[in-house]
Amino acid sequence: MRLTSLLFTLALCTAADQALANSPAGLRKISVVTQDYPRSLAVTVWYPSASGGADDVVADDRIFVSPPTRSNAEISQGRFPLILLSHGSGSRAEGMGWIAAELAQAGFVVAAPNHPGTTSGDSTPASTPKIWERTADISTVITALVQDPKWRSAIDPDHIGILGFSLGGTTAMELAGARGDLSAYIRYCQENPAMMDCQWFRGGQGYAGGERVDVEPFDLSSVDRGRFEQSGRDPRITAAVAVDPGLATTFQPESLRAIDLPVVLINLGSSGEIPVAVAAENLARQITGARYAQVDGANHFSFLPVCRKGAAEFLQSIGEHDPICGEKTRPRADIHAELSRLIIDAFKRTLKPGH
């Protein structure tokens, strides 16, 4: 290619990238229901938008700020890498909407299911360790999107990534090839009973139909060992990013050494402040070529959306004691800016949008 042609092509790519960045992400809600899969999945898709659609206005969320998006906007021309999102325990796909919208503006199609049994208002201790259900949810969504005429022309099936937070980080790790060790999980809770997930198992409470319900304390030894320790690897996934991955101490070491795709692991918090449940630096050492980063001044809840003014007081008034809106040293928006750079750079390096 002549130099002038190359410079012209680069200028066009830069202009296209800038247009995507300046346009709000498109957003569509879809349902994935198939005869071959027993779980119905509510899925949110964010994507590079071209025109049309309606500005989304979220007026009933008293806690979190929602990113600007355009419902049912047209999809930009081109084929884009696909990134799947897996939310944390007791959260929802919308809780990752801030990073999903930024990824869409950076040139990715982004899809996130609500995982039945571990989502907001539908969450029980017995469902929490069933990581095999979560990995199957993600694989089912991939299949649905790459086969759907509405989406397949916009998706590059050779460049698919997974981004997970907390229990979603566990999901991302397993889709990348990590395998759980149930004995290590049981031992972890025996040695760390104060960890939030271990308290959750003993607490005798869950959520169903949006209401808090009483349940029997859950014994981890009752988990189906075969399913817990099986491989959840989906070979269509070619890159993984996990933020504060849960079960960080409970993966089989040999499975970590066998991971053969790019992995980025991110912890929220300064050295000495990261809970053992999600500490990922040692995981990174065991995965060939894995990259590791820490976001100082953050905490585990910093990955949630930016909180509205007065949200912390409202949460306290309804009996929520977790520091959901409780950073002490850095504004959450500042933390998100750092996280966004780390995550988008990771996927641009490994999934190559616009290649």
Read off the pLDDT of residues 110-141 as tens digits, 9 standing for 90 and up. 999 999 999 999 999 999 999 999 999 999 99
Q: Which domains does the chain have, with CATH numbers?
A: 32-351 (3.40.50.1820)
pTM: 0.91
What pLDDT sits at residue 16? 46
Helix (H, G, I), strand (E, B) or coil at 247: coil
**Region class of 33: left (phi > 0), else alpha (psi between -120 and 50), else beta:** beta
Q: Which segments within the chain are labelled E, that is strand? A: 25-32, 41-47, 54-55, 69-71, 80-86, 109-113, 118-119, 122-123, 155-165, 205-208, 211-214, 239-243, 263-268, 291-295
Q: How confident is the model at residue 43 (pLDDT cuts 50, 70, 90)?
A: very high
User: What is the rounded CA–CA span in Å between residue 259 and residue 255?
Assistant: 7
Model confidence over 257-310: pLDDT tens digits?
A: 999 999 999 999 999 999 999 999 999 999 999 999 999 999 999 999 999 988
DSSP 8-state secondary structure symbol assigned to residue 86:
E
User: What is the rounded CA–CA span in Å between residue 63 and residue 32?
Assistant: 28
